[in-house]
């Protein structure tokens, strides 16, 4: 697979506001890449720089190996699906979709044929003569997608395209978009703040945080091996512990926390006496009525919540931190208010290098230990 978009060392600064910082990103041909991050982290700005509506303050952007920073939006082989749809209100659906072909001076007969075919593909057959104001939100969304796809762009940029739709329609459109992308084999760069959407649709996810890509990996890699504390907490539910590595033996690290010692499988790039963060998914957490080897946490059972087939247990540590533990329903459980010992299989926890602003909490734990 060839590289279709290459972003190298891109910064975008508005006044004193560094919106995108030292961005490096390579997108492969035919890939579905998602930019995931909370609102205001610079996703739209990144997309707009690729489309040509904003200029990078520094750095280069290449599409198909060619630098595009100096090219106008209408000279780039890239199309955008806008969050607000941005349909032309004074044109029929047919003319909306035909717009790109008309600008390229494609012959009339061919335009007609291709537009009608595209309308079939996105299930809008029969709507040619309507105006955008006469369509529902979901239908407008399809028009916006069809209008962009008909130009056969090398890359399609989608800025939270499903953000305005209700949950049911959103789920349906997620599958449809994925199907279209596979069928037409077009590279998608997709922006969303919805982690579930990102996990279900993407080949790879770039998790953005304050203008920086924290991690770029496949959905399962992101979920199972988060590289930063932000990624761990932003994607899925998790339990976080800050502490210090006080012993490493046979590839297993003992971490001293404020509330006691725990054990985690230790990757090679972690050193003795390093401050580290542990992330354990609720479904990987366990608890027992007796103390487990290598784990010194003692907690009190606070509450049980039934969520369909699983049971969510909330236990509380002496310092007031709550832990979430998922159990299959129907198992025997300690009573609410009773003491329990949380633990996990050492390979089920993820060790994350600590970022400076959490070191204070880690230091705390050392003094107590």
Partner 1 sequence: MKNKGFRVIFCSIVYIFLFLPISVIVVNSFNATTTKPYMSWKGFTLDWYVKLWDNSSLLEAFSNTMIIAIVSTVLATVIGTLGAIGMYRYKFKGKGLIDGLLYIPVVIPEIVLGISLLTIFANVNIPRGMLTLILAHVTFCIPFVIFNVRARLSGYDNSIEEASLDLGANRVRTFFEVTLPILAPGIFGGALLAFTLSIDDVIISYFVYGQTKTYPLKVMESVKSGVSPDVNALSTIILIATILFVVLTQGSLFKKKDRRI
Ligand X SMILES: Nc1ncnc2c1ncn2[C@@H]1O[C@H](COP(=O)(O)OP(=O)(O)O)[C@@H](O)[C@H]1O
The residues of the shown chain that bind ligand X, judged by CB under 6 A, are: 14, 17, 19, 37, 39-45
Report in angstroms how near the CB of residue 11 gets to ligand X at its nearest: 12
Gyration radius of the chain's alpha carbons: 25
Nearer Cβ to partner 1 (134/172): 134
Q: Interface mask (CB under 5 A) for Mg ion, residues 29-68, using x and -?
A: ---------------x------------------------
Report in angstroms how near the CB of residue 159 gets to partner 1 at its nearest: 9
- 108-121 vs 93-103: helix crossing angle, rounded to 10: 130
Nearer Cβ to ligand X (43/170): 43
Nearest position to ligand X, beta carbon: 44
Nearer Cβ to partner 1 (122/276): 122
Interaction partner, residue 304 (Mg ion, ligand X, partner 1, none; CB < 5-8 Å by kind): none
With a CB cutoff of 8 Å and minimum separation 6, the contacts of 111 are 98, 101, 102
Q: Is 341 in the site for partner 1 (CB under 8 A)?
A: no
Q: Given CA atoms 121, 122, 127, 128 in this order, what sign does their dihedral have?
A: negative
Cα–Cα distance measured from residue 190 to residue 236, given in angstroms and rounded to the nearest whole number: 19
Report in angstroms how near the CB of residue 178 gets to ligand X at its nearest: 22
Closest CA to 203 of 193, 189, 183, 214: 189
Size of site (CB under 5 A) for Mg ion: 1
CA dist list (Å): 202 to 34, 176, 179, 216, 358: 6, 13, 12, 11, 31
Strand order in the sheet with 17-28: 17-28, 3-14, 58-63, 66-67
Q: In the set 24, 58, 60, 134, which binds partner 1 (CB under 8 A)?
A: 134
Interaction partner, residue 90 (Mg ion, partner 1, ligand X, none; CB < 5-8 Å by kind): partner 1
For partner 1, which stretch binds (CB under 8 A), given 97-105, 197-205, 236-244, 301-309?
A: 97-105
Size of site (CB under 8 A) for partner 1: 26
Alpha helices in the chain (DSSP H): 43-51, 93-103, 108-121, 137-149, 167-184, 195-201, 219-224, 229-234, 359-368
Q: Interface mask (CB under 8 A) for partner 1, residues 77-96, using x and -?
A: -xxx-x-x-xxxxx------
Report in angstroms how near the CB of residue 20 gets to ligand X at its nearest: 8
Q: In the set 47, 51, 257, 278, which binds partner 1 (CB under 8 A)?
A: 51
Interaction partner, residue 19 (partner 1, Mg ion, ligand X, none; CB < 5-8 Å by kind): ligand X
Q: What DSSP line would sit under 77-139, residue for residue? A: SEEEE-TT----TTS-HHHHHHHHHHHTT--HHHHHHHHHHHHHHTT-TT-TT--GGGS-HHH
Cα–Cα distance measured from residue 184 to residue 145, given in angstroms and rounded to the nearest whole number: 13
Contact set with partner 1 (CB under 8 A): 51-53, 72-74, 78-80, 82, 84, 86-90, 99-100, 103-104, 131, 133-134, 147-148, 151
């Amino acid at each position: 697979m060839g590289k279709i978009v290459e972003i190298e060392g891109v910064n975008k600064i508005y006044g004193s506001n560094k919106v995108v910082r030292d961005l490096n990103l390579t997108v492969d041909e035919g890939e579905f890449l998602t930019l995931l991050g909370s609102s205001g982290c610079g996703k739209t700005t990144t997309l707009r720089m690729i489309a040509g509506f904003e200029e990078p303050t520094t750095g280069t952007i290449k599409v198909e190996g060619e630098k595009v920073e100096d090219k106008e939006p209408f000279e780039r082989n890239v199309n955008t699906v806008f969050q607000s749809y941005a349909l032309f209100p004074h044109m029929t659906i047919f003319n909306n979709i035909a717009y790109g072909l008309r600008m390229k001076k494609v012959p009339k007969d061919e335009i007609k044929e291709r537009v009608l075919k595209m309308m079939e593909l996105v299930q809008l057959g029969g709507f040619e003569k309507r105006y955008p104001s006469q369509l529902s939100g979901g239908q407008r969304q399809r028009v916006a997608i069809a209008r962009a796809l008909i130009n056969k762009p090398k890359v399609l940029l989608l800025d939270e395209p499903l953000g305005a739709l209700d949950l049911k329609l959103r789920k349906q459109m997620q599958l449809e978009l994925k199907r279209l992308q596979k069928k037409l084999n077009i590279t998608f760069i997709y922006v969303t703040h919805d982690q579930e959407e990102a996990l279900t649709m993407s080949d790879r996810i770039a998790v953005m945080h304050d203008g920086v890509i924290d991690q770029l990996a496949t959905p399962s890699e992101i979920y199972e091996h988060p590289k930063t504390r932000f990624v761990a907490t932003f994607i899925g539910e998790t339990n976080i512990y800050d502490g210090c590595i006080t012993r490493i033996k046979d590839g297993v690290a003992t971490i001293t926390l404020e509330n006691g010692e725990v054990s985690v499988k230790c990757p090679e790039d972690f050193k003795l006496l390093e401050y580290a963060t542990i992330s354990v998914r609720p479904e990987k957490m366990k608890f027992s009525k007796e103390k487990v080897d290598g784990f010194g946490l003692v907690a009190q059972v606070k509450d049980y919540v039934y969520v369909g087939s699983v049971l969510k247990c909330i236990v509380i540590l002496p310092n007031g931190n709550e832990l979430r533990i998922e159990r299959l329903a129907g198992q025997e459980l300690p009573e609410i208010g009773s003491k329990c010992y949380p633990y996990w299989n050492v390979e089920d926890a993820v060790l994350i290098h600590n970022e400076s602003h959490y070191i204070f909490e880690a230091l705390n734990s050392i003094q107590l230990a």
